[in-house]
Every structure is written in C-alpha cells, then in structure tokens.
Structure 1
Amino acid sequence: MPPISQTPRADARSPAPFPIPRPEYPRTRWWLLLLPLALLLASVSVITGAAELPKIIYVRPVPNNDDVLLQQGTSGVNNAAKLYRLQASTLESQPTRAGRQQQLDNAVQQGAGIVVVMGIEFKEILDKVARQAPQTRFLILEHCIDNAASNITCITFRESEASYLAGMQAALASSSGKIGLIGASNTALRQKNSAAFANGARAAKPAISVHEPLWVEGAQPFNDPPRAEALTKTMLGDGVDVIWAAAAGSNPGIFKALTPQSRAKAIGSGVNQCMQAPGRVLDNVEVHADTAIVLAVGLLANGSTASRFDFGLKEGAVALTALGLDAAYSECEILRQRPLLLKLRETGSAIASGKLKVD
C-alpha cells in the first residue's frame, strides 16, 4: 500500500485504524443517496492511479453462484469503495478449507487494507491469518470468533427485531389462529429469532397459537427443498396457515407445499422472495449484508477499532420488504392489507428508536 499522509492513532491494544479519508458516517441506508456525490468528488480529485488507492477485498467462501446474500458481499465492498475512495475486488474460493485459506493469503499478499468474509466456513481459519497480517483489518459477517485477533471485527445483525415484526404480521394475517416457523438448522441464533417471532405474534394477538418450530437439519439443511416441503405439509396438517420460511435455500420446498387449496401463506427470508412464489408470500425478513459492509467501512474510516459492529432496523441492515422504499414493486401479498402495514410501520419505528425492546 502506498505511503499516506495521515498518521495512525497509537494504541497498544489495537491495530491502527484503516488509513483512509474520513467522511461523515452514514447512519442509515440513505448512504445510497451519497453515491452520486461520491462519484462526482472522485472524478475531480487528483488521483494518480487506481493502484495507489487503499484496497478492500471480499473473499467468497465458494465460486460465484446465485446465493443472493453472498452476492451482497461483492456489492457491499464495491459501494464502500465508491464512497471511501478504495480499490475493490472479489476473490472466489474453491469450496474447501485449503481453497479459502489460499484466497485469504492472496488478499493479504495483494496489500488489502480491509478483507471482508462471509460464512461460517471462515470462522476456524481467519484468526490465524489475521495474526500473521496485523496491518490488515478483517471484517467477518455474523460469525464472531472468541478471543479473536485485535484486527478482526465481526458484524452481527439484530435479526430478532425483524423477526418480531414477522411474528406480528403472521398473527394478524392468520385466519386459523395458528402460525409457525420452519428453519434450516436449530442454532442459538435461530432459536433467538424464533423466540422473537413468537413474542411479536403474541404481542399482536395474545390468543395466537404458535406451532413448535420445525427444522430441516440433515446433511444439507440450507439446501433441501424436498425435506422442507415435507415439514410444511406436516405443519399445514396441524392447521397452521401462516409460516415463516426461514430455511434459506430450502425455502422453495415450503412455497411449493402452499397450494391454492391450503390457502396458507408464507413469510420469506433473506431477500425478497415474493416474486418466487406469486400469491403465496406475504412479505420477507431481509438481511442487507451490503448495507452492513458499507456502514462498517464507514466506522473504520472514522477511526474505530471495535471488535464488533451490531446493526439492525435503525441502520437498515435488517428490514421487512413491505416497509422498504421499493415495497410497491415487491409483489408481496401484504401490500393488500394497509391497516396491517400501518401497524407494522408504527412498531418498526418504535423498535428503531429504542422505545420498544424485543430482546
């Protein structure tokens, strides 16, 4: 990396903050509105070449595929690069431990100031790489490492906030008075989200019946639509008519089981899935990894050396599709129920402002 004029802050306990310009930290997803200005400033700045810009590199755990969340990693580092005058690139790993290790090493050797990774696959190998590259700041999404090197920052999401809203929506949209959740794997995080879902449902409708969560599990819990379809049929047989489909790549199996005869609906997860199953998906609990990456890089640019950043509704890192700026184009069924939407918007605002605690 080329010499810089800014002198890093001395800190015996933490590595120096990433040495890049320090524009004002964008507090919400309105950072998108700053992109045209950032591009204009970049066009008139005296820059001798892209090779002189600090580097931010995203290392994917697998080759490029249709995983939307992983794709957000690339868009996140690209957007951060535009805002903070960085040079962005993405390295695709072979789906093995050795392949991921190699690409982490490549990112360091290429002189990355920030390396971004996403996926539990990196949890066991990142710490060693980080300790061998103290000049590099590493960002890992969702999977924090115990006693991690001081140059690792994990990004976590307050998914329980959106989970609470999903529970409210499910309860208010249910005709049978029975709702449920089908998840991929029964982890501590998913249990927390499941509890928030149930709490939100009971806050909206105290008499609601919340089915015990069903988990896909097995060898491929995140990509087993047939197993998810079978679980959905079981839940429908128990009278559930609104299901939170929180099973990642297994969700298509849930949507498939929601036949017109069942009259049941689903709430999708991760991204907008309303278009994947028209008429069967009410709404979605979205996670915006791209937003989180931009916010995290902004904090680093302002000198933060924190070991963890936590983002939720307030920051726009988690959301319901129906409450987003582009909701009108989402094709989500919940848009037909305006009174319900107003209730969700009111509750979402209370959570974002801190007036309502869901944990």
Structure 2
Amino acid sequence: MKKFFLLFLTLIVVDMFAFKVIMVTDVGGLGDGSFMDGTWSGIVKACEELGVEYGVIQSKEQGDYVSNLSKAAEQADVVFAVGFLMSDAFYKVAQQYPETYFVGIDFDSGTILANVMTFTFKEQEGSFLTGYLAAGMTKTGKVAIIGGIPIPPVKRYEIGFRAGVRAYNQIHNANIEVKVVYSNSFTDPKKGKELAQSLIGEGVDIIQQACGGTALGIIEAIKEENYKNVPNGDLKGLLDYMYDNIGYFMLGGDIEQEPQAPGHILASAIKRVDVASYLGVKKAYNGEWQPGNIELGLKEEGEGISRMRYTKGLVPDSLIYEIEYLTGLVKDGKLIIPSTEEELNAMRIKISF
C-alpha cells in the first residue's frame, strides 16, 4: 500500500510539472520544405533536448486560426503561431489565455502582452546576399524573384534581393536586370512552375524563391530545363555542364534548400526561423521569458547565405570574397540594407574590389 501511494504521488507530481508545446501553422502547413518546416525543426530540436512533449495543429484555411490557437492554448504551455497571416488571430487568442505562453513567428503588431513573445527578421539582409550572388553568377544578365503573397516579410525579401543586384551593378558597373513576380499563394506549386517557365522563356537563368510551398514548382521547372542537357540524376555531369554553359538555378529561402535538388539550387537566403522557435521553447521552459519582439538579422546570426554545399565550386573565389566582405560590413553596421522602396531608390554603394 505504501509503495502504491508513493507511485501515485510521483505520477501526480510528474503530471503537475508536465510541459507541452504546440505549433499552429498557417494555411501553408508542413511539407513546404521552407518556412514552416524550418520553424518546426527548431521546436522539435528544443523539445527533444528538454524531454518535453510537442505537437502540431495544421490550419486548412484562415478561418481555422482562432479555433486552432484556442485549442492549442487549452492543451499546451507554449503555443506557436507561424506566419504573418496569423497575426490578428494570435493576439486575440493570447489575450484570452493569459496563463499560456504565446510565441509568434514572422510578425509583430507592437502590442506588448506579458505572455507574448514574437520574432521578426531582417529578411532583406539574407536576400541581399543571394541577390548579389545571382548578379555575379547569371550568364544571361537576367535574374528574378518569385514572391508568394506581398506581405511585409516577403516584400523585404524582394527589396533585399533587388538591392543585392543593384549593389553588384553599382560596384561592377554592370547592368543585370531583375524581374519581380508574385504568385499570390504560398501553397500553389503549379503556379510556381508556370511562373518559372515563363521567366526562363524571357531569358532568366536564376530565380530567387520567396513563396513557401509554391517554390516546389519552381524547383520542378528548373530541373526539367536542366535535364534537357544533362541526364537525370547525374550531379557531376550537371555541375560540369553548369561550369561552362548556361544552366538554370533556383535560390532557396528560409532554410538551406539545396538538398531538395542538389545542383539545381545555387544557394539559399537563410532565415533562421529554426533558431527563433528553438529560443522560444527554451526561454519559456527555463524561466527566461522575454515579452515583446526580438528581431534577428545578420549580426544576430538570424539571416545569412547558405554554405552552397554542392555548388560552391562554380562560384569564383573573388565573388565569394566580395559576399563575405559585404556580410562583414552589414554585421558591423557600416552597410544598411534597404527594406523599403524609398530606401532602395536612395541606395548608393561606393566600394571597389
């Protein structure tokens, strides 16, 4: 009887201190190979390190946001809302559950609540680097960016990419053209493929994605174009061909996307949503909660460019040096990357290599 009582008491104590994290996605959902998957990976990593329970609720439409966030708040200690489109629902539900921690990824209304922490990013800093890379690597003189819905984070992606191309043009007295198109969706690979094929038909050879799951169609279009000249699956043959001829590349977004299509993705503009979600879990669990917004950029290692594990050998050492030098200037505060159209129009870079 005594042993039974001790076991029962232990179970009560464990249950009292149980800790659970739930992530609620926007309509993009898991499986986008980008934004959502990156955020989820940070949550999984933190929870497994801490030995706490975690789960996910996926939203099928925007009308699900309030009910899904409320459901999560009733079950978990920490609720993550992922995606700018969830902002209104997030703050509404957070006020209704003051005892639950809420972490918002990719938005900040400026509203300060004791149970709310948000993370935003200087997307323009990561895409500036891929824009500069694209300008230095294009063989047709035409590059492009395909955005999803033109919400503020995506617009910053666009502005940063265009700023990178403009910086290359100013430094090298070049005239690389950049095209901008929007799919108006983060979940439409078919549209992504159609837009990519149209851009390729216009002479574009490098395309930056800022459209979440829609980019799966961009990858498909790029691969189909490259496989017209190289056998399917021949990575060495592909890279050899790319070295001497005009090939086609996508530039990934948010996470290091290169493994999804080795050789077809030149590099990725890294947006460390995984770092943000990892920190959110850790701060809540360790009693280091920090209400308000945390902004991550190059200086905070929240933005950057991928290591180009398959394609770095295609990039001239001089171009890699220039990108590293510019990265250092941004981290030191000596180079401010535009985040608005007005700032972009006023940008003048006087650097010589």
Instruction: State the TM-score, normalized to the length of structure 2.
Output: 0.73
What is the aligned partner in structure 1 of residue 320 from structure 2? 341
Which of 64, 70, 85 is matched with 2:36 structurally? 70
SS in 1 for 2:258: coil
1:295 aligns with 2:274: no
* C-alpha deviation, 1:150, in angstroms: 4.2
Q: Aligned partners of 1:78, 1:255: CA distance in 2, in Å? A: 26
Count the aligned residue pairs.
302
Deviation at 1:236, TM superposition (A): 2.7
Report how far residue 111 of structure 1 moved. 5.7
- The residue that corresponds to 1:80 in the other structure is 46
1:271 lines up with 2:235 in the alignment: no
Give the alignment partner of residue 183 of structure 1, picking from 107, 124, 147.
147
SS at match of 1:275: helix
Does 2:271 align with 1:307?
A: no
Other-structure match for 1:12: none
CA distance in 2, matches of 1:352, 1:310: 14
Partner of 2:6: none
Aligned residue in 1 for 2:270: 286
Partner residue in 2 for 1:352: 331
1:144 aligns with 2:128: no
Q: Secondary structure of 2:102's match?
A: strand
Please tell me whether residue 215 in structure 1 is matched to residue 182 in structure 2.
yes
Question: Which structure's residues are more often helix, by fraction?
Answer: 2
Matched, 1:95 2:73: no
- C-alpha separation in 2, matches of 1:252 and 1:192: 21
In 2, the alpha carbon distance for the partners of 1:302 and 1:80 equals: 14
Change (3 A) 1:252 1:203: same
* Aligned-residue CA RMSD (Å): 3.2
Normalised by the length of structure 1, the TM-score is 0.72
Aligned counterparts, 1:119-158, within 5 A: 119-120=83-84, 122-145=86-109, 147=111, 149-158=113-122
Report the CA distance shift for 1:224/1:115 in structure 2 as closer, same or farther (over 3 A): closer
Gaps in structure 2 of 5+ consecutive residues: 1-10, 230-245, 339-353
SS in structure 1 at match of 2:261: coil
1:168 Cα offset (Å) = 0.7
Give the drift of 1:280. Answer: 2.4
| Cα distance in 2, alignment partners of residues 71 and 255 from structure 1 | 17
Q: CA deviation at 1:180?
A: 1.7
Counterpart residue type for residue 228 of structure 1: G
2:302 is the counterpart of 1:317: yes
Q: Do the aligned partners of residues 306 and 210 (structure 1) sit closer, same or farther apart at CA in structure 2, a change above 3 Å counting?
A: farther
